[in-house]
Amino acid sequence: MASEFTRMNRDIWSSDEFLDLSASAQHLYFVLWTHPNLSFCGSVEWHPGKLSTRASDLTPELVIEAGMELARNLFIVVDPETEEVLVRSWIKHDGLCRQPNMAVAMSKDRANLSSRSLRGVVVHEVAKLRVSEPGLSAWKRDQVVNLLGQNAVDPAELLASNPWLKGSVNPSRNPSVKGSFNPSGNPSGNPKPKGPVNPGRTTTTATATQTPTTKEEESSYVSTEGYDASATEPPPRYCPQHVDEPTTSPCHACGEARRAREVWDRNEAHAVKLAQSSEAKRRAKFIQDAIDECELCDERGYFGTTVCEHNPERVETNRRGVARVREALAETAKRKADDEQL
């Protein structure tokens, strides 16, 4: 997690590129920008199912559609293979590189990315920032120097060769997504999810025991057995027979599917809380380590009455600024005195 607060430049509303986006793409951009698990290099896990929980009417399909729009316009870069997304300009606009310790944290989080493509895009963006702001002391830190020595990847070139944006790759790895291939031939579009992938969670399955009463029902009936509460994608709220056309009539299989989904939702909510708690502890430790290493601030992280930036050059910069102010005041006083003598 990058921080409790994030900088959002209001000038974004003067960008024609941003104004040309759809409302859903703009919303997803803000969701990613303010995501509680966003790393110091502007990355977060790309899980359309989880991201769709950020609004009541959002679905994984809508997240994928908005994500493709953002990716085509280079607002984000997605690696569907490693399930990671990078907010391309986050490093630039959040101002991390103006604080040497934060630049080091950004370098460490970049190294933790599984996607080599996204790691290369981070190098590309930091290199551009070094050209535009060459005087930053962050460029002298060993970790940042090492980062800039790695392979850079231009996101524009990556975009041209990204098969996901051409519709040949399903970024959610969910065959129910519109426009993707469904090799199982399941007309409901909701095949049994793979599972379990997290042995630490409680596995709950819903097994349908309803017995079809007619030959027609027997030929179309599909059991919900195998829907796993620990799967990465949520199980449907209805049985496969009614997933596209929910029924108001009693359906035992739908009841089992609904209960399986409720268990899955509770497990997901618990997992999110655990992840947020872990990130909060990591961030608190990072902040405390920065305070302990800094020779400028007190034990609370304050330099005088302001929050310390842990930048050794700040004292010298402030000293020069105060000296210039004093010189200007002295010059003004001298001119005033000369005018009175006249």
* Distance from C-alpha of 18 to C-alpha of 29, rounded to nearest angstrom: 10
Give the range of the structural domain holding residue 35, as residue numbers without chain letter: 12-161
| 99 vs 218, more confident | 99
> Does 73 map to a domain?
yes
Q: Encoding tokens for residue 65?
A: 């559609």
pLDDT in tens, 33-71: 889 899 988 899 999 999 999 998 889 999 999 999 999
> Does 127 map to a domain?
yes
3-class SS at 266?
A: helix
Q: Which of 133, 161, 189 is the last residue of a domain?
A: 161
| 89 vs 5, more confident | 89
Q: Report residue 187's pLDDT band, with 50, 70 and 90 as the boundaries.
A: very low
Q: What is the pLDDT of residue 127?
A: 92
Q: What is the pLDDT of residue 122?
A: 94
> Does 24 map to a domain?
yes
> Does 137 map to a domain?
yes
What phi-psi label fits residue 180: left (phi over 0), alpha (psi between -120 and 50 degrees) or beta?
Answer: beta
Percent of the chain with pLDDT over 90: 22
* Distance from C-alpha of 236 to C-alpha of 208, rounded to nearest angstrom: 14
> Does 119 map to a domain?
yes
pTM value is 0.49
Contact in structure between 228 and 195 (CB atoms under 8 Å): yes
Q: What is the pLDDT of residue 121?
A: 94
> Does 83 map to a domain?
yes
pLDDT in tens, 223-265: 444 445 455 678 888 888 887 777 777 788 888 888 888 887 8
Q: Which of 106, 132, 161 is the last residue of a domain?
A: 161
Q: Which of 161, 195, 215 is the last residue of a domain?
A: 161
Q: What is the pLDDT of residue 263?
A: 81
Domain total in the chain: 2
Q: What is the mean pLDDT of the chain?
A: 75
pLDDT above 70: residue 217: no
> Does 189 map to a domain?
no
Mean pLDDT for the stretch of residues 86-90: 89
> Does 3 map to a domain?
no
